[in-house]
A and B are shown apart, each in its own frame.
Chain A
Amino acid sequence: MFVEGHHELAKLSFLDVIVIAVYFAMVIWIGFYLKQKANTSEEFFMAGREMTAWIAGLSFVSANLGSLELMGWAGSAYQYGILAAHWYWIGAIPAMLFLGLVMMPFYYVSKTHSVPGYLKLRFGEPSRVLAAVSFGFMTILMSGVNMFAMAVVMKVVLGWDITFSILMSSLAVAVYVTLGGLRSAIFNEVLQFVLIWGGALLVPILGLIEAGGWTKLQANILANYHGLDYTHMWRGLAHFSTNPMGVHWTGIVFGLGFVISFGYWTTDFLVVQRVLAADSLRSAQMAPIIAAAFKMAVPFIVILPGLLGLVILHNPDGTLMHLVGENAVSAANPHSYNEVLPLMLVRYCGPGLLGLGITALIAGFMSGMAGNVSAFSAVWTYDIYQPLINKKATDKHYVAVGRWATILGVVVSIGTAYLVMHAQGIMDYVQALFSFFIAPLLGTILLGMFWKRATGAGGFWGLLAGTATSISLYVWVKLDPAALSVVAFSPDAKDMAENLYRALWSWVICVLVTIVVSYMGKARPESELNGLVYGATVLPNEAPVPLIKNHWFWASIVIVVFFVLNLMFF
């Protein structure tokens, strides 16, 4: 992942060390403080279902903002230009609004503890176990990838030993999540969200000042990278070969904007768990809308630094610095795409501010990891341990199992981090995981929620067929790279396009199999579907609220801003 003998980019001053130490002291303090409020399973796994919309919303977006997200997408912006912002806008906003406005009532009213738990209610035990095992597997792998990404940053930026970084940060996460459960994870995620902004926002502000503003930045990128369009989101997407990402607009709209985005934001329990902890249905519906508003702003601290790196970063001899892929790092090009954010940080931040920036990266890692292990703990306890191993234990016993599952999740994640150390192309691996498990799950959940005729057998076999399709396509392209032109419909398609179209394929297969198998069986009576399926559910009437508190009003504002942003950077 990095060159032997690589010299660190910066050295921490005493002040930086104090800034980092204060952060660790704070998160541990929060864990110990909240231990007294995590005695029952409802408190430990669901944070007592008493989070306000703001806290649930910020936690919702923060759990997704791991170090991999910060580093990876800043690197992708350097590599692919502003196209990377699609993962923040069309790849997130419509799905987050859909979750809040349409899907949340079913999750919330069914009082499920998890997304696999909803599948149990709708399709039965086999679907629940399949989804729970897939989710547990994916969560631990993601946690390990996230952990490794953070350790590499610390190695590159500060010269810290990888094992030291992994143990220090994961130990802190293990302590505060084991003690305080989901409430502690959520509390810390809100804190970490504020810190990420406080530590990272200075970079684009100073970067834009140095670059002379957005218009001058665009002109300089065009001058430095002749003809390649790095600053428009849609213009180059008419053909696979006319944009740096090698993708077509159909892949962005249907693969990313629909399957991957809706799959992740509406069915991945890592994020949905935060909203299920809300104190009322109205808060649960409002939380994803608040999160969407903040999510739209994240490109400012992630994508913009990547674009600024294209013109601002220079070698000591004054020539333009060229960052390269991890596999192409050499003495001539010592830095990879993934280092663009740390490079920008070191460029502008002296003592104190550097510590704050590093703390932001550590906070990003910890929020991502805490999200993974708290979700893993809940799914393991409710959807694997309780139904398959010990059905009739006391509530106290399940809380203890949840605490041990948290520790187990951290330990296995550490093992996974060392495993991915020897793997090439982390982002490719992460996207592949999404298409394996998340894309087919979307098909199952959507049909379950909106089609009364879907049966238990249909749900199970559809989910299994979708997952198997995705894994098979991945293996096919690995064994025969020429297969990419079939999977992604073009010989010009690149890796990212393959991920998008593979997800689309697996979703289509899941939906088709679910429909066919459902028609072969007998549907459940409508009376059994109350609280689970659209059209068969009586939603609770909520008292009318002023416009300023109405979730449809705020969702309308978010969607208008979303369209304006896409038009501005068209």
Chain B
Amino acid sequence: MHGSGISIWFFIGVLLAIYGFLICGYGIYELVTGHVANVALANLHAPVWWGAVMLALGAFYCLRFNPRRN
């Protein structure tokens, strides 16, 4: 699926990056303001690290499979 337009992995990268940015951003907002959502294990701040992992993966795929680069 490469070389004939946009790769599926680029679409996935875009989606993961957007989600990672939104979720990690919200997690940081929670950390800064102290307004933590009422969920179990909120002290682990899952939105911060889960969002960061998604953002990193998304950014990697966006760069690696960027249609301009190919």
Our verdict on whether A and B bind, yes or no, reads yes
A187–B34 Cα distance when bound, in Å, is 40
Chain A's closest residue to B15 (CB) is A26
B contact set with A: CB distance below 8 Å: 1, 4-6, 8, 11-12, 14-16, 18-19, 22-23, 26-27, 30, 36-42, 44, 46-47, 50-51, 54
Encode A337-358 as 1/0 by CB contact (under 8 A) with B. 0000000001111111100100
Question: Does A384 reach chain B (CB closer than 8 Å)?
Answer: no
A555 — which chain B residues lie within 8 A by C-beta? none
B5 — which chain A residues lie within 8 A by C-beta? 33, 37
CB contact between B37 and one of A194, A206, A351 (< 8 Å): that residue:
A351
A37 — which chain B residues lie within 8 A by C-beta? 4-5
B46 — which chain A residues lie within 8 A by C-beta? 202, 206, 348-349, 353
- A19-67 residues with Cβ-Cβ distance < 8 A to B are 19, 22-23, 26, 29-30, 33, 37, 50-52, 55
- A476-517 residues with Cβ-Cβ distance < 8 A to B are none
CB contact between B12 and one of A52, A190, A206, A356 (< 8 Å): that residue:
A190
Cross-chain contact A19 with B12 (CB below 8 angstroms): no
Cross-chain contact A33 with B6 (CB below 8 angstroms): yes
B16 — which chain A residues lie within 8 A by C-beta? 194, 198
A350–B15 Cα distance when bound, in Å, is 20
A348–B23 Cα distance when bound, in Å, is 14
Question: Does A15 reach chain B (CB closer than 8 Å)?
Answer: yes
Encode A1-26 as 1/0 by CB contact (under 8 A) with B. 00000000000000100110011001
Question: Does A209 reach chain B (CB closer than 8 Å)?
Answer: yes
A contact set with B: CB distance below 8 Å: 15, 18-19, 22-23, 26, 29-30, 33, 37, 50-52, 55, 187, 190-191, 194-195, 198, 202, 206, 209-210, 346-353, 356
A347–B1 Cα distance when bound, in Å, is 39
Cross-chain contact A349 with B8 (CB below 8 angstroms): no
Cross-chain contact A195 with B15 (CB below 8 angstroms): yes
A3–B4 Cα distance when bound, in Å, is 51
B14 — which chain A residues lie within 8 A by C-beta? 26
B12 — which chain A residues lie within 8 A by C-beta? 190-191, 194
B27 — which chain A residues lie within 8 A by C-beta? 352
Cross-chain contact A187 with B19 (CB below 8 angstroms): no
Cross-chain contact B15 with A22 (CB below 8 angstroms): yes
Closest CB in chain A relative to B55 CB, distance in Å = 12
A30–B11 Cα distance when bound, in Å, is 8
Closest CB in chain A relative to B16 CB, distance in Å = 7
Cross-chain contact A352 with B47 (CB below 8 angstroms): yes
Cross-chain contact B26 with A348 (CB below 8 angstroms): no
